[in-house]
């Protein structure tokens, strides 16, 4: 008997652990149509406290329209959001309405955690602007797994003070990478190599912008190691070698260029419409220096944030009704004007308030971004995850440092990324 006890205890421990780790499967699918009542949770990504009053107002409006409903707001911090979503989805605790970008949605949709909204709502194509809605249609899956909420794109920010000091005309901003490199040389020579007009390494979006296919047709292998990609990378390699970049750029990640710009260490950055306010807030001296222009090479990226519905939501009808409420043209327009982003419904996307500046630089940035948005495209394939971006970034750095030729860097990145794709 005594020998049995430790064994029983071990089994109990293992069983308890197994129970804790297992999902709560076996529940019947809730209905997306039905009575709108009960409590739901809206999970947003880094929107409070700044936009808490807006969100509270929208929630109150919904609760007033549908008595018997209650919406709980849960805002998650910016860092580690994907890890939080993984944890929620793997424990079946994904909030009823969840704010996600399209690349987060693909894994959730494939694992069956998200509702195919097109199965219960038929007018989506007419309601939302095409490029934004398409971002939530995934290769290999039928349906639409999220509704676009707010959109943004990149414009170019330049430091006019540094440009003027180098003899450059801030009214004749570079419009292509080639022009930027040419002006970077002038700034480099004029400042004795102390000022820089180049601030970011080429990333996956830059290759896509240059017409390089990133993945093959079915998204199972890389296709970016082409002559065009090598030529593009070589331009940056030569620019780095000539000293047009600060060396710290080799270790920079996605936000690196905006951080260098904020510190005044480089005279160029990309950013969305709202970035102007961030630059000036973090470094007020930039207020007199910033001038804005469209994204280089006339191909701005499209960034989409959306709302998805948890497939296991107990109040799916309420969740869907609330998502439609927060996404209705009036609410979207108000949010867009509040955040300097853009709405995703066809009814509000062309509202005159979005294309008119209030005369402030921030207003000008918004209008410039609005004009860019008309031709913006999602540049990075959904399958190209964080690890793949990191590998490409590392190999590009290696080539720019001069340690390997551009072709070998791209081949090595492709080979490593192919292994990751094979496991997806």
Partner 1 sequence: MRSHRWFTPWLLVAPALLWLGAFSFWPAINTVRMSFTNAKPLGGTEQWVGLRNYTNLFSDPQVANALLNSVVYMAVCLPLLTLLPLGIAVLVEKKIPGITFFRTSFYLPVIASAVVVALLWNLVLDEGGVVNNIVQSLKWVQGPIPFLTDRWLVVFSSISLTVWKGLGYYMVIYIAALGNVSKDLHEAAAIDGAGAWRRFWSVTVPGVRGAMILVAIMICVSALRIFTEPYFLTGTTGGPGGFASSFVMIIQQYARGLLGNLGYASALSVVLFFICLIPMLILARQNRKES
The token pair that represents 206 in the structure block: 């830059």
By CB under 8 A, tell whether 5 contacts partner 1: yes
Taking residues 260 to 289 in sequence order and writing x for each that binds partner 1 by CB under 8 A, - otherwise, the string is: -----x------------------------
146 close to 94: Cβ distance less than 8 angstroms: no
Q: Indicate whether 4 belongs to the interface with partner 1 (CB under 8 A).
A: no
Taking CB under 8 A as the criterion, the residue among 56, 169, 238, 386 binding partner 1 is 386
* 104 contacts partner 1 (rule: CB under 8 A): yes
Task: List the one residue from 4, 49, 79, 83 that touches partner 1 (CB under 8 A).
Answer: 83
Give the range of 57-65, 139-147, 326-334, 399-407 binding partner 1 by CB under 8 A.
399-407
Of 23 and 53, which CB lies nearer to partner 1 in the complex structure?
23
Q: Which is nearer to partner 1, 6 or 359 (CB)?
A: 6
Give the 3-state secondary structure of 131-166: HHHHCCCCCCCCCCCCEEEEEEECEEEEEHHHHHHC
For the bound state, the minimum distance from the C-beta of residue 355 to partner 1, rounded and expressed in Å, comes to 35
Q: Phi, psi at residue 126, to the nearest 5°? A: -80, -25
Distance CA 170, CA 157 (A): 11
Cross-strand partners of 157: 269, 292
- Minimum distance between the CB of residue 145 and partner 1, rounded to whole angstroms? 13
Question: What CA–CA distance (Å, rounded) separates 292 from 276?
Answer: 9
Please report, as residue ranges, which positions from 311 to 370 form the binding site for partner 1 (by CB under 8 A): none
Work out how close the CB of 409 gets to partner 1 at its nearest, in angstroms, rounded to a whole number: 8
For residue 111, the minimal CB distance to partner 1 (Å) is 4
Nearest to 301 by CA among 365, 379, 225, 247: 379
For partner 1, give the closer residue by CB, 11 or 31.
Answer: 11
71 in Cβ contact with 59 (< 8 Å): yes
| CA 97/CA 232 separation, integer angstroms | 41
d(CA 348, CA 360): 23
Q: Judged by CB, which is closer to partner 1: 226, or 416? A: 416
Give me the residues that bind partner 1 (CB under 8 A), please. 2, 5-6, 9-10, 13-14, 16-18, 20-21, 23, 82-83, 85-86, 89-90, 103-104, 106-108, 110-113, 246-248, 250-253, 256, 265, 383, 385-387, 390-391, 393-395, 397-398, 400-401, 403-404, 412, 416, 419-420, 423-424
């Amino acid at each position: 008997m005594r020998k049995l006890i430790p064994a029983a205890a071990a089994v109990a421990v293992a069983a308890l652990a197994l129970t804790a780790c297992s999902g709560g499967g076996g529940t019947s699918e809730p209905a997306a149509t039905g009575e709108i009542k009960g409590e739901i949770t809206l999970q947003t990504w880094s929107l409070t406290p700044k936009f808490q009053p807006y969100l509270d107002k929208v929630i109150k409006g919904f609760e007033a329209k549908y008595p018997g409903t209650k919406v709980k707001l849960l805002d998650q911090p910016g860092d580690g959001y994907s890890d939080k979503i993984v944890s929620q989805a793997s424990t079946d605790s994904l909030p009823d309405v969840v704010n996600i970008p399209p690349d987060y949605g693909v894994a959730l949709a494939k694992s069956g955690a998200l509702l195919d909204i097109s199965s219960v709502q038929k007018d989506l194509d007419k309601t939302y602007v095409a490029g934004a809605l398409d971002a939530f249609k995934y290769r290999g899956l039928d349906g639409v797994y999220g509704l676009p909420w707010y959109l943004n794109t990149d414009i170019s920010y330049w430091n006019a003070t540094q440009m003027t000091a180098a003899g450059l005309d801030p009214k004749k901003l570079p419009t292509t990478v080639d022009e930027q490199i040419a002006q970077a040389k002038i700034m480099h020579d004029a400042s004795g190599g102390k000022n820089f007009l180049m601030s970011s390494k080429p990333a996956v979006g830059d290759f896509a912008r240059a017409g390089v296919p990133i993945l093959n047709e079915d998204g199972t292998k890389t296709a970016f190691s082409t002559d065009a990609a090598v030529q593009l990378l070589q331009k940056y390699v030569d620019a780095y070698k000539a000293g047009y970049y600060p060396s710290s750029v080799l270790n920079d990640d996605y936000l690196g260029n905006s951080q260098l710009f904020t510190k005044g260490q480089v005279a160029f950055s990309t950013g969305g419409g709202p970035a102007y306010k961030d630059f000036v807030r973090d470094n007020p001296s930039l207020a007199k220096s910033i001038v804005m222009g469209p994204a280089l090479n006339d191909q701005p990226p499209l960034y989409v944030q959306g709302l998805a519905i948890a497939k296991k939501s107990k109040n799916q009808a309420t969740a869907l009704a609330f998502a439609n409420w927060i996404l209705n043209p009036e609410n979207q327009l108000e949010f867009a004007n509040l955040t300097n982003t853009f709405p995703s419904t066809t009814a509000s996307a062309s509202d005159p308030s979005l294309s008119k500046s209030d005369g402030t630089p921030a207003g000008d940035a918004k209008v410039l971004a609005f004009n860019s948005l008309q031709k913006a495209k999602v540049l990075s394939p959904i399958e190209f995850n964080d690890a793949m971006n990191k590998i490409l970034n590392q190999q590009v750095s290696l080539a720019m440092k001069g340690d390997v030729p551009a072709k070998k860097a791209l081949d090595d990145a492709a080979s490593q990324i192919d292994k990751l794709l094979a496991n997806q």
